[in-house]
Chain A
């Protein structure tokens, strides 16, 4: 379903005396449909960059990224929304729409895919209930805590049942109770057929999942284990 082929991402030097930053160096791996893949690594290992490359938020310096055998970086700008609608993304910095309420942030995705008002009115309260934000539906992101923002971002990523979910540190700001809930939700969604790519620092989550683990160190894949553990 997803294929990273000899991907390198180098950020140019910012000043005369500094060196270019190698975020990813010749990374190659595949994710098959219905896979649950965790990507682990220290901060700066390149986990977020990988996800950005798939979303076409960044372009690779070398290599190609394929989504269902289509090179995503060859898609025209006006056609990118079609790709992105198939992906549910949870960003590390939440990326919530500050001018919209929690309800509107979540319903926005359904509006983007053309769902009817009836369908939106039915689905959004359910997902908000699942992530524990039913009482915060009318609040704006500025009025939410970090954990609540993250849960809103998760709800937005899940609401339209995408083909793949990219989750970049989705439990970073959550307490253990909510962390467990979210991970269980991701596993449940994966069992229903959605491919999940999870980037996380949480050792307990990784070790408990017992799923495929790709370890990144200094932009390179050092381990790729089918039933991996958190080893850095």
Chain B
């Protein structure tokens, strides 16, 4: 058994190393397929980052009337925090709101002067509420409107931002659905392209396969080396892809960070390196073996 496996591996290596043109074509096709799958994986990660970042920017602010006591507001904060839809509730006092305003607009003296003209702090105490999903803000807002403490509330800014929130919710949902559809289509295309290339390379050997059958070789001893050839091509294609993606993610890191604050592509690559390598090897070697197996079947019926 071990001798057979050793011979099959040796024979597979011989096929792979001797016919360089076929080997290069097969490696290139598998490399493309692996790159496609890797790109989809990284694209999914980047999309997730962008979507989460966008969602993080959305919130509802509930402004309380001037005369409402801070302890009452803190009690409402505690109550709202218990809801499953609510991710975080932050209390901003009127004094804190004034300080933040001045910090935000420190380069705009006109605005600062306008506030000073009022003679008092115009900002109201508020609760900033973040939900888990954009679609949940409506539920939270409805609750706030009908709650017992409704008469303490001066304003809820959900209605002003409602259309933006709904658009973001709709966009993220559509992005996931379309992303999956595109991913499946591209993976299928990659698999079919790889299969065609390997099938052509095995067609090239069809006469040899027939001869091997005629002299008494078993199906496994004929098929085995071609599976090894497919696996080797997948392995080489995967390693080239890993190297290329590492290089690309490192060179594009600063550019991406400029576009999307906090998104470092090299860090993303590094933190997902082992999983990405696994996906690439699984895709490359798996696709190589599977395509070889399917392609050779018709030639084993001599």
Segment from B105-113, B141-149, B209-217 that makes contact with A: B209-217
| Interface presence of B218 (CB below 8 A) | yes
| Interface presence of A117 (CB below 8 A) | yes
Encode B3-19 as 1/0 by CB contact (under 8 A) with A: 11001000000110011
CA distance A117 to B205 in the complex (A): 26
CA distance A77 to B18 in the complex (A): 30
8 Å CB interface, B181-204 against A: none
A84-B215, A89-B215, A108-B215 known; A116 and B3 CB under 8 Å? yes
Contact B215 A156 (CB under 8 A): yes
Encode B213-226 as 1/0 by CB contact (under 8 A) with A: 11111110100000
8 Å CB interface, A78-100 against B: 78, 80-87, 89, 91, 95-100
8 Å CB interface, A191-221 against B: none
| Interface presence of B302 (CB below 8 A) | yes
8 Å CB interface, B1-53 against A: 3-4, 7, 14-15, 18-19
**Closest A residue to B300 using CB positions:** A77
Q: Which of A77, A86, A91, A100 touches B14 (beta carbons < 8 Å)? A: A100
A78-B219, A89-B214, A89-B215 known; A99 and B7 CB under 8 Å? no
CA distance A108 to B225 in the complex (A): 13
| Interface presence of A57 (CB below 8 A) | yes
| Interface presence of A55 (CB below 8 A) | yes
CA distance A118 to B295 in the complex (A): 34
A78-B219, A100-B14, A111-B7 known; A57 and B211 CB under 8 Å? no
**Closest A residue to B19 using CB positions:** A99
| Interface presence of A53 (CB below 8 A) | no
| Interface presence of A183 (CB below 8 A) | no
Interface centre among A57, A83, A112, A117 (most CB of B within 10 A): A112
Chain B residues in 8 Å Cβ range of A156: 215
| Interface presence of B301 (CB below 8 A) | yes
| Interface presence of B208 (CB below 8 A) | yes
Q: Which of A96, A100, A112 touches B216 (beta carbons < 8 Å)? A: A112
Contact A112 B211 (CB under 8 A): no
Contact A84 B219 (CB under 8 A): no
| Interface presence of A113 (CB below 8 A) | yes
| Interface presence of A109 (CB below 8 A) | yes
Contact B205 A113 (CB under 8 A): no
A57-B302, A98-B208, A117-B3 known; A85 and B18 CB under 8 Å? no
**Closest B residue to A157 using CB positions:** B215
Main secondary structure, interface of B, reads helix
CA distance A96 to B215 in the complex (A): 10
CA distance A223 to B149 in the complex (A): 117
A57-B302, A111-B7, A116-B3 known; A81 and B14 CB under 8 Å? no
Interface centre among B207, B217, B300, B302 (most CB of A within 10 A): B217
CA distance A98 to B18 in the complex (A): 11
**Closest A residue to B205 using CB positions:** A99
Encode B157-177 as 1/0 by CB contact (under 8 A) with A: 000000000000000000000
CA distance A116 to B7 in the complex (A): 11
Contact B217 A108 (CB under 8 A): yes
Q: Which of B208, B216, B219 touches A99 (beta carbons < 8 Å)? A: B208
**Closest A residue to B212 using CB positions:** A97
Chain B residues in 8 Å Cβ range of A108: 212, 215, 217
CA distance A27 to B214 in the complex (A): 23
Interface centre among B15, B18, B207, B218 (most CB of A within 10 A): B218
**Closest B residue to A140 using CB positions:** B18
Chain A residues in 8 Å Cβ range of B15: 99
**Closest B residue to A78 using CB positions:** B219
Contact A112 B14 (CB under 8 A): no
**Closest B residue to A113 using CB positions:** B216
Chain A residues in 8 Å Cβ range of B7: 111
CA distance A80 to B14 in the complex (A): 26
In angstroms, how far is the closest chain B Cβ from the Cβ of A124? 14
**Closest B residue to A86 using CB positions:** B216
CA distance A69 to B205 in the complex (A): 35
CA distance A91 to B300 in the complex (A): 20
Top-6 shortest CB links A-B? A84-B216, A85-B216, A112-B217, A95-B211, A81-B218, A81-B216
**Given known contacts A86-B216, A113-B216, what 12 new A-B pairs fall within 8 Å (CB)?**
A57-B214, A77-B300, A82-B216, A83-B216, A84-B213, A95-B214, A97-B212, A99-B18, A108-B212, A108-B215, A112-B217, A116-B3
- Which residues of chain A have a CB within 8 Å of any CB of chain B? 55, 57, 77-78, 80-87, 89, 91, 95-100, 104, 108-109, 111-114, 116-117, 156
Q: What would be 7 A-B contacts, judged by CB atoms less than 8 Å apart?
A: A82-B216, A89-B214, A99-B15, A109-B216, A112-B221, A114-B3, A114-B4
